[in-house]
A and B are shown apart, each in its own frame.
Chain A
Amino acid sequence: MNPMVIAQDVHKSFGSNHVLRGISLEVERGEVMCLVGPSGSGKSTFLRCINHLEKINSGRITVDETLIGYRENAGKLYELKAREAAAQRVGIGMVFQRFNLFPHMTALENVTTGMIRVQGINTSDAITEGKTLLARVGLAEKLDHYPAHLSGGQQQRVAIARSLAMRPKLMLFDEPTSALDPELVGEVLDVMKELASTGMTMIVVTHEMGFAREVADSLVFMDGGVVVESGKPADLLSNPQEARTQSFLSKVL
């Protein structure tokens, strides 16, 4: 089977700011990859390119053998219509640093809205599925709570359930625990561990080296818009080869 994600020489600029300078990597099916690196290294931007929230300037990204953002025909690329790009995103879940739950909806409504509005599942089936998912992230008691009445950790778990509701084949996590109080980090990581154990393909931008060591199959260190070093987490963390990796790890470990 081909890898779930293939990125080939991906470049991305914001104006004159060249953020990604040729990223190439592969993520196997069922693999958990952690992306680490100093802030401004381009790891979040790369994640946002994978589900086409950002358009790349050159290179190509495929998810499950589908080219992201474009259609290829006889060697020429055609930009996708908004509707086609939206259809591609259904298969790619995304969890944000700031949760981005919909504040005017209850926890259950947050989870069911995608199923109802995007996938056209009827309301009662969506509610059944939504309850199951919220129970899975440990929030069976919080169905009718609005986000403002939930702690950060609970909100992030609702956000994970909301993404899972779309039955994605790939989950992207953009610093999912960075906005949390320290004592709430564990409950979110536990949900992510459980998810990893079910064989979900995951790309996680994180500063949690403990999580990377324990759960990740591969660790990628980025700096200055390029992949500096990658490998097995245990190897990379205990025996980094590059000077930049060594200097970064000495600060965070």
Chain B
Amino acid sequence: MQSTNQEPIKAVPLRHPIRWAVALLLVLSALAFVVDAAHRSAYDWKAFTKYLFDPRVIKAAGVTLALTGLSMLIAIFLGVALAIMRRSPNPIFRTVSWIFIWAFRGTPVYVQLVFWGLLSTIYHSFFIGIPDIHFNNLYLGFHQTISQNFSLFWLAVIGLSLNEAAYMAEIVRAGLLSVDAGQEEAATSLGMSWWATMRHIVIPQAMRIIIPPTGNEIVSMLKTTSLVTAIPLVTDLYARTRDISTETYNPIPLLLVASAWYLFFTTLLMIVQYFVEKRFARGHSALIGVQS
């Protein structure tokens, strides 16, 4: 027999004295660090507040953000293309994709950026068309001098995105592999084309696997942009704050300024990632077993 108005259990909850003690110790230590830091002259908080919203710093933060956004955008598209090429029945696509990933994942990004900086030394100009054919002084083709037409900014974007594309390709490939083969068969049986199957069935399911590591890659890219000094591009956040500090002989507050901006951006990215992950977790969120 079941009683209809059961009394909830009344019991003394389990106590956690050690947890409380450790938490208290950590809070006190953190407080001590903050109070100390607030008074320590090396941090120079006056300079920190002065430079945090300095127009040069804000502009440099914009450059860092643009480098991150553009590089990741190109890397994601190129990575998806490389991942699909790896799956292709065409051996040319498979080999090209494999070699690209081998080369760009196998060398340090810093070394690659130095190479991109030296591009105009290695290749003085490029020409697309049929060589040595001219009509009334008109080139039959497209001819450009490298140093004139490629700004350091775009060289940095190319360098960062090609390197990142190799990593994104592997992430996307893992995502595509995670989708059950039956999904493609079911979509094919409905008469969906290969591309519709990819777009509406396979890729949306692969996204759930692809997004968390991609968020990680974006955060990583934000910080990797500080290496563009190898190009050498000196308009990004880290290079700019370092340049300012060579004038003021006061590097520590400017490092703090740069760190504050990097942290601000990564925090924003974490918030965005949370909502994007929620969106693509549809159908996977709750427990299985809600059956009628």
Contacts and interface: CB of A to CB of B under 8 A. Distances in A.
B8 interface: no
A76 interface: no
* Residue from A83, A101, A118, A149 whose CB has the most chain B CB atoms within 10 Å: A149
Interface string B180-200: 101101111111111010001
Contacts of B280: 104
Nearest to A106: B283
Nearest to A51: B189
A146 B188 contact: no
Interface in B91-105: none
Interface residues of B, number: 28
A147 B192 contact: no
B283 A96 contact: no
A25 interface: no
Interface in B161-210: 180, 182-183, 185-194, 196, 200-201, 204-205, 208
Contact of B286 (A51, A53, A104, A148): A148
B193 A102 contact: no
B191 A87 contact: yes
A94 interface: yes
B4 interface: no
B193 A53 contact: no
Contact of B193 (A83, A146, A162, A163): A83
B288 interface: yes
Contacts of B284: 103-104, 148
Interface string A177-213: 0000000000000000000000000000000000000
B192 A118 contact: yes
A236 interface: no
A93 interface: yes
Nearest to B189: A94
A30 interface: no
Given A148-B283, A149-B288, A166 B191 contact: yes
B190 A118 contact: yes
Interface in A122-157: 141-142, 145-151, 154
Contacts of A141: 292
Given A100-B182, A103-B205, A150 B291 contact: yes
A251 interface: no
B204 A104 contact: yes
Interface in B234-292: 280, 282-284, 286, 288, 290-292
A163 B187 CA distance: 10
Contacts, number: 87
Interface string A107-131: 0000001100110000000000000
Nearest to B191: A90
B185 A100 contact: yes
B194 A147 contact: no
Contacts of B201: 102
Interface string A214-239: 00000000000000000000000000
Nearest to B194: A82
A45 to B, nearest CB: 13
Contacts of A118: 190-192, 196
Nearest to B283: A146
Contacts of B292: 141-142, 151, 154
Contact of A162 (B180, B182, B190): B190
Nearest to A119: B191
Contacts of A87: 191
19 contacts: A86-B192, A86-B193, A92-B189, A94-B186, A96-B182, A101-B186, A104-B205, A104-B283, A104-B284, A105-B283, A114-B191, A114-B192, A117-B192, A148-B283, A148-B284, A148-B288, A149-B286, A149-B291, A162-B190
Given A82-B193, A100-B186, A102-B205, 6 more contacts: A51-B189, A96-B186, A102-B187, A105-B283, A141-B292, A154-B292
